[in-house]
């Protein structure tokens, strides 16, 4: 099944988005049955396919200021809510969120769209899915862009063991999310405060003690690692945009999203056949120079060595003053980088 809402149809996307780029009804919303779930996605423009994957705690909506630009440049831009997020189904089983299912969703989505080739672009958690898709199905995904999260190859050590070594007795957020129920309840207790605190603390707008602490002490609540801004949120995230995120996460909760992190070890266990595999397609990395997630030496080293993991790496850049939400914090720079990369692929 593939159904479009009537909202906005009949007007060019550019005309709709210029009215209010933060209006979720300015886009064509579609649904499809694929890989055992009902997936919600945005489908705009015509031309070579570009798939945009959001991270956590985001939704398709984080790409709202990229969609029109890419569509106007001559691309078909498809932007799903990944399983567990937004208007897409949220299976109960934790294993339903492993990487084989997440990549399977993208393969199924392309089949639904009648497409056989795509450039896949992922942010944060979406970068993990995009990297795995490019590695597992190079016949379908001809180019890869990762935002803010430099995804490594499989590695020799089970992820939770490696993260424990990095944390040195503290608790990294991926480890915190291994707990069942507790993180879900904490994040959902006040979704507005949670999202304001997370979006602010991980951004380039936060300074000093306001910035996200990547590690908490044993027994310390995860939300202690974030600071809610005083007063109005910085201008890069409007009140209307924040309201959309809050409404969706209030409705869905956070469990589906957290289940991806609970599959970290499972993903490692089921991908022994990928030991030593590389992504050889043309690729690019866009990060933020003020992104707290890049501060640990082990994570920064992944960024420094990206060209060894991605032999087709064409560019890697850290945007000054930008944090973990590059696509929202630095719209024009991200759009220019994406367009340049895509244009080079078509030459």
Task: Catalogue the active-site residues.
Answer: 124, 324
Residues present in the chain in total:
347
Is-contact 220 186, C-beta < 8 A? no
CA distance 34 to 180: 28
Beta pairing partners, 315: 284
Alpha helices in the chain (DSSP H): 13-19, 64-72, 99-113, 125-136, 159-167, 173-176, 182-188, 191-201, 239-252, 255-261, 264-269, 297-304, 306-309, 326-329, 331-346
DSSP 139: T
Q: Which two tokens mark 222?
A: 């995860």
CA distance 347 to 319: 26
If you search the block for the tokens 């890419």, which residue do you land on? 70
């Amino acid at each position: 099944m593939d159904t479009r809402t009537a909202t906005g149809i009949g007007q060019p996307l550019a005309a709709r988005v210029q009215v209010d780029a933060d209006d979720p009804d300015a886009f064509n919303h579609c649904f499809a049955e694929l890989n055992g779930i009902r997936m919600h996605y945005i489908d705009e423009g015509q031309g070579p396919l570009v798939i945009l994957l959001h991270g956590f705690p985001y939704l398709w909506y984080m790409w709202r200021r990229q969609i029109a630009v890419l569509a106007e440049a001559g691309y078909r831009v498809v932007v799903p809510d990944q399983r567990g997020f937004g208007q897409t189904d949220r299976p109960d089983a934790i294993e339903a969120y492993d990487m084989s299912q997440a990549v399977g969703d993208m393969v199924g989505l392309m089949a639904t769209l009648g497409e056989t080739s795509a450039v896949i672009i992922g942010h944060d958690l979406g970068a993990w899915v995009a990297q795995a898709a490019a590695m597992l199905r190079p016949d379908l995904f001809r180019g890869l862009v990762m935002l803010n999260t430099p995804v490594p190859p499989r590695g020799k050590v089970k992820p939770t063991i490696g993260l424990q070594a990095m944390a040195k007795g503290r608790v990294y957020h991926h480890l915190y999310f291994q707990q069942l129920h507790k993180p879900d309840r904490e994040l959902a207790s006040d979704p507005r405060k949670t999202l304001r605190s997370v979006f602010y603390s991980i951004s380039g707008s936060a300074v000093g003690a306001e910035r996200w602490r990547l590690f908490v002490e044993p027994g310390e609540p995860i939300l202690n690692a974030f600071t809610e801004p005083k007063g109005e949120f910085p201008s890069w995230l409007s009140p209307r945009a924040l309201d959309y995120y809050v409404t969706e996460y209030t409705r869905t909760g956070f469990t589906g999203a957290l289940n991806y992190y609970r599959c970290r070890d499972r993903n490692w266990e089921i991908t022994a056949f990928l030991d030593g595999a590389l992504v050889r397609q043309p690729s690019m990395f866009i990060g933020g120079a003020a992104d707290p997630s890049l501060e640990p030496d082990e994570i920064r080293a992944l960024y420094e060595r990206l060209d060894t993991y991605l032999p087709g790496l064409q560019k890697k850049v850290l945007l000054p003053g930008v944090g973990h939400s590059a696509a929202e914090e630095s719209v024009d720079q991200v759009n220019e980088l994406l367009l340049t990369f895509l244009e080079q692929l078509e030459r």
